[in-house]
Amino acid sequence: MKVAFFDSKNYDVESFQKFKTSGLDFKFFETKLSLDTVELARGYNAVCVFVNDVVNKEVIDKLISFNVQLIALRCAGYNNVDIKAAQGKIKVVRVPAYSPNAVAEHTMALLLTSVRRIHKAYIRIKDFNFSLSGLTGFDLCGKTIGVIGTGKIGKEFIDICNGFKMNVLAYDIAQNKDVKAKYTDLNTLFEKSDIISLHCPLTPQTQYIINKKSIEKMKKGVVIINTSRGALINADDLLEGIKSRKIGAACLDVYEEEAGVFFNDFSGHIIDDDTLARLITMPNVILTSHQAFLTTEALNNIAETTINNILDIEKNNSSKNEVII
């Protein structure tokens, strides 16, 4: 089976090349998959895509016309794929759990960096400025954190929060009996939480779950963390919440309009997205470029699961990780 990889980075090539003996033929393209680039998939049996590739109905129809049999996502989320357009015509598989620990640990790293002002201290020390002025943080112990989404990543993050002796409130449409947290409704979570962390998938129900109305219900000075999907937060409403001092800090590893920006080097260039540019300038905003997944262990798991998904489809025409609606 010939597989075309889109939006490929050096770490993708390194992790997948370990499986050259699988009998699969790899071709790595740096460009993202879209209607403009889909012609590159001609002659391949499968395409392997990531979070910012555009796999809408038009792209899927093109893939089918090229006799592409499989769309292999090397990520957990599949909101960028039109699953309805694919059903019964082309298989779609994903990596449901590559390393919940990686994302959960990055989430806590962002939170600790923010509340203990580590990023500011690091920059200050580089200038030999050893003053502590303006670096006062707060203890996590005893604070109430609201976790929205209690799947594998959410559960791991809650376990970490329990280790810090935090009071954990949780919300999910399906409660997880293994989660050590107090489940509550969204309004209560918004009203009671000192910190809110998002770990839910992007669906029509969760899109903009953080918006002007939900922000109004929150405590003054609330810290908001998002390491899941950018469109869970209305970025303009977030910015207004920060400017009005309602939101005390924001820790973001994802952004709704990140496609075409994240994973690229724009140093020396002007970013056209005014909202993103404003967020970056805010002293109480920490933003990383969708790197929560980026550990050696996670990359190995992504590659291994993706390869197994492709081989399962090739040999059995089915996979336990097939996306079916």
| Cα torsion 122, 124, 125, 130: sign | negative
Per-residue pLDDT for 21 more than 80? no
How high does pLDDT run on average in the chain? 95
Kindly name the residue from 106, 229, 256, 314 that is annotated as catalytic. 229
Q: Which pLDDT score, from 0 to 100, does residue 4 have?
A: 97
Which of the four pLDDT bands, split at 50, 70 and 90, describes residue 263? confident
pLDDT at residue 116 in the model: 97
Task: Answer whether residue 264 shows pLDDT above 90.
Answer: no
> 233: Cβ–Cβ under 8 A, 6 or more apart, which residues?
198, 208, 209, 210, 211, 224, 226, 252, 256
- Asked if residue 259 has pLDDT above 90, the reply is no
Give 198's pLDDT tier (boundaries 50, 70, 90): very high
Distances, alpha carbon 9 to alpha carbons 14, 31, 32, 268, in Å: 9, 10, 11, 21
Whole-number pLDDT of residue 226: 98
Known catalytic membership, residue 119: no
Stretch 237-264: mean pLDDT, rounded?
95
In angstroms, what is the C-alpha Rg of the chain?
A: 21
pLDDT of 219 > 90? The answer is: yes
Q: What is the pLDDT of residue 45?
A: 97
Separation between Cα atoms, residue 183 and residue 216, nearest integer Å = 21
pLDDT at 20: 78
Query: Would the pLDDT of 22 be above 80?
Result: no
Domains, in order of start, for the chain: 2-98+296-316 (3.40.50.720), 100-287 (3.40.50.720)
**Residue 220 to residue 148: CA distance in whole angstroms:** 19
pLDDT at 111 over 80: yes
pLDDT of 129 above 90: yes
Q: Which of 106, 199, 256, 258 is catalytic?
A: 258
| Res. 288: pLDDT tops 90 | yes
Mark whether 257 is an active-site residue: no
The average pLDDT across 278-291 equals 96
Q: Which residue among 106, 156, 290, 314 is the active-site one?
A: 290
The predicted model gives 140-156 an average pLDDT of 97
Active site residue 258: yes
Instruction: For residue 304, give every residue at least 6 positions away whose Cβ sits within 8 Å of its Cβ, in sequence order, or none.
Output: 19
Average pLDDT over residues 50-77: 96
Q: pLDDT tens across 25-56, in order?
A: 999 999 999 999 999 999 999 999 999 999 99
| pTM for this entry | 0.89
pLDDT of residue 77: 86
Q: What is the pLDDT of residue 76?
A: 87
Angle of CA points 232, 236, 237, to nearest 5°: 75
